A and B are shown apart, each in its own frame.
Chain A
Amino acid sequence: MIGGLVMRFTEEAGAIMLLFCSTLRQMFMPPYEVKGTFKQMYEIGVRSVPVVLITAIFTGMVLALQTYTGFKRFGAEAMVGTVVALSMTREMGPVLTGLIVTGRAGAAMAAELGTMRVTEQIDALETLATNPIKYLIVPRFASGLIMMPALTVVADFIGILGGYIITVWLFGVSSTLYWKRTWDFLETEDIYNGLIKAGFFGGSIALISCYKGFTTTGGAEGVGKATTGAVVLSFMTVLISNYFLASWLYK
């Protein structure tokens, strides 16, 4: 039973790596899928902004709330700004955005490509002399790679703003102190390492979701399974790779 599980896992990982290679090759081979990529950037990026905004602001707020009330016990409430800024840029920003993009865009990708597979639209692309990897996967992969870091910047900034709202407006800490504590200990490295993670998540989510969509079999039920599979596998990948990326990037 465990043997079978390992076999299935390695088989799938191998298939995704192969898809990754062909996607890269198609991505750098002209003609480029500019129009399709912009469309996907809008779908994955722009349309995720509202959810990211709401999630990020509340995350920043709750971080400030918990840190302030907790740190007060040993008189360190002045450090709230630092904690919020570091948590948001290093962890919460990229990871939460990754989970949101998985739920919104990853699921949609798997469902759309899965439906195209079962209704033979992907076969039809091939008969019309169009490489489906180039036409369908490249734009999604590239958009994931570009838009995840972009969304993460938004999340970082809004999260810190949420922390500000609670610390300054609710707990009456001085505004200068909050900003000072934020900027004093925040290094550019914190931000761009977070963005590297975000880019990795974006690429993985797109690739996994497209893979699941492409390999769909068995009608409507199959599409449902592919979508669930894409979301679960993407979540796992984001959360597990997050640990290893963090241990590698933040030495």
Chain B
Amino acid sequence: MIEITDLHKAFGGKQVLRGASLRIERGESMVVIGGSGSGKSVLIKHIIGILKPDRGDIFINGENITRLKEGALYRVRRKFGMLFQGAALFDSLAVWENVGFVFLRDKTRSEKEIKEIAAEKLKLVGLAGVEDLMPAELSGGMKKRVGLARAIAHDPEILLYDEPTTGLDPIMADAINELIVEMKKRLKVTSIAITHDMTSAYKIADRIAMLYEGRIVETGTPEEIRHTENPLVRQFITGSATGPIKIEGVSAR
């Protein structure tokens, strides 16, 4: 279970999170939607402890990770797997070394075993025979799959997805969505995705939360979100440029 309470974060003078609160149950698939610059990425980086909040707490299974020392934080992070927007594969390492990175680091298994684990995880995301390729030789969709294989390699309890479908064509995006749903079914993980792609959100979410101006303004099942009365959410899900949400830097006519 993950509980976020009253999270505040500013960069320089710019306030990004202004009291975001969210609760995610074990085994649930939560999708956080919101416009560009609404603080989605910042929120997800707080959950995994890469960023420290100015104020507020994050509890992972009852443990407040904002108070943890570095060593303990790295231990907690092993419960997480994260798929980055651009996959963030290490480009100096081969695909199998990327997928088996955690095991290469802790040196408890032989290289041969690690390669086998990597091949098996790659199969889970629908890839075969790419173990020895370098990340630069892969297409965008394949990179995402390898990134996902790397995220699930150490059997995490919680999976985080940062804009999983951004930059992919609609068919590829749907394939990734299917994969996310399958991961949840097969691995029984808790997952949190951030996206502005509503097709993706409806497909993978048990619940959807909308982040606006650094706060969660609405949470509900996809069905509830679809029929919400909240004008902010309505404008976002219908994709309209007119409404209560102002586009930053564009003056009203």
**A residues neighboring B (CB under 8 Å):** 31, 116, 119-121, 123-131, 135
Residues of B within 8 A of A125 (CB): 90
Residues of B within 8 A of A128 (CB): 77, 101-102, 105, 150
Taking A116-B90, A124-B88 as given, write out 9 further A-B residue pairs in contact, using a Cβ cutoff of 8 Å, ordered by the A residue number. A119-B86, A121-B89, A121-B90, A123-B84, A126-B77, A128-B150, A129-B78, A131-B70, A135-B105
State whether B77 touches A123 (Cβ < 8 A): no
Instruction: Compute how far the CA of A124 lies from the CA of B83 in the bound complex, rounded to whole angstroms.
Output: 9
State whether B82 touches A124 (Cβ < 8 A): yes
User: B140-181 interface mask toward A, CB cutoff 8 Å, 1 = contact, 0 = none?
Assistant: 000000000011000000001000000000000000000000
Question: B53 near A: Cβ within 8 Å?
Answer: no
Say which residue of B74, B84, B90, B151 sits within 8 Å of A129 (CB atoms): B74
State whether B85 touches A127 (Cβ < 8 A): no
Q: How many residues of B contact A (CB 8 A)?
A: 26
Question: B50 near A: Cβ within 8 Å?
Answer: yes
Residues of B within 8 A of A121 (CB): 88-91
Chain B minimum-CB-distance residue to A123: B50
Instruction: Compute how far the CA of A128 lies from the CA of B77 in the bound complex, rounded to whole angstroms.
Output: 7
Instruction: Compute how far the CA of A186 lies from the CA of B160 in the bound complex, rounded to whole angstroms.
Output: 63
CB-defined A-B contacts under 8 Å, sample of 21: A120-B84, A120-B85, A121-B88, A121-B90, A123-B88, A124-B84, A124-B89, A124-B90, A125-B90, A126-B77, A127-B77, A127-B81, A127-B82, A127-B160, A128-B77, A128-B101, A129-B74, A129-B105, A130-B105, A131-B74, A135-B105
Instruction: Compute how far the CA of A135 lies from the CA of B70 in the bound complex, rounded to whole angstroms.
Output: 15
State whether B80 touches A127 (Cβ < 8 A): yes
Minimum CB–CB distance from A6 to chain B (whole Å) comes to: 19
Residues of A within 8 A of B105 (CB): 128-130, 135
B:58-91 near A, CB below 8 Å = 70, 74-75, 77-78, 80-82, 84-86, 88-91
Residues of A within 8 A of B151 (CB): 127
Known: A31-B107, A128-B102, A129-B102. A123 touches B45 (CB 8 A): yes
Residues of A within 8 A of B101 (CB): 128, 130
Question: B95 near A: Cβ within 8 Å?
Answer: no
Residues of B within 8 A of A129 (CB): 74-75, 77-78, 102, 105
Question: B4 near A: Cβ within 8 Å?
Answer: no
User: B116-130 interface mask toward A, CB cutoff 8 Å, 1 = contact, 0 = none?
Assistant: 000000000000000
Residues of A within 8 A of B16 (CB): none
Question: B225 near A: Cβ within 8 Å?
Answer: no
Say which residue of B74, B78, B88, B107 sits within 8 Å of A119 (CB atoms): B88
Instruction: Compute how far the CA of A125 lies from the CA of B91 in the bound complex, rounded to whole angstroms.
Output: 12
Instruction: Compute how far the CA of A125 lies from the CA of B88 in the bound complex, rounded to whole angstroms.
Output: 9
Instruction: Compute how far the CA of A22 lies from the CA of B91 in the bound complex, rounded to whole angstroms.
Output: 25
Instruction: Compute how far the CA of A126 lies from the CA of B160 in the bound complex, rounded to whole angstroms.
Output: 14
Instruction: Compute how far the CA of A63 lies from the CA of B70 in the bound complex, rounded to whole angstroms.
Output: 53
Minimum CB–CB distance from A22 to chain B (whole Å) comes to: 9
Residues of B within 8 A of A116 (CB): 90
Minimum CB–CB distance from A110 to chain B (whole Å) comes to: 16
Minimum CB–CB distance from A217 to chain B (whole Å) comes to: 10
Residues of B within 8 A of A123 (CB): 45, 50, 84, 88
Chain B minimum-CB-distance residue to A122: B88
Residues of B within 8 A of A131 (CB): 70, 74
Instruction: Compute how far the CA of A119 lies from the CA of B78 in the bound complex, rounded to whole angstroms.
Output: 22
Chain B minimum-CB-distance residue to A22: B70
Minimum CB–CB distance from A113 to chain B (whole Å) comes to: 12
Minimum CB–CB distance from B181 to chain A (whole Å) comes to: 22
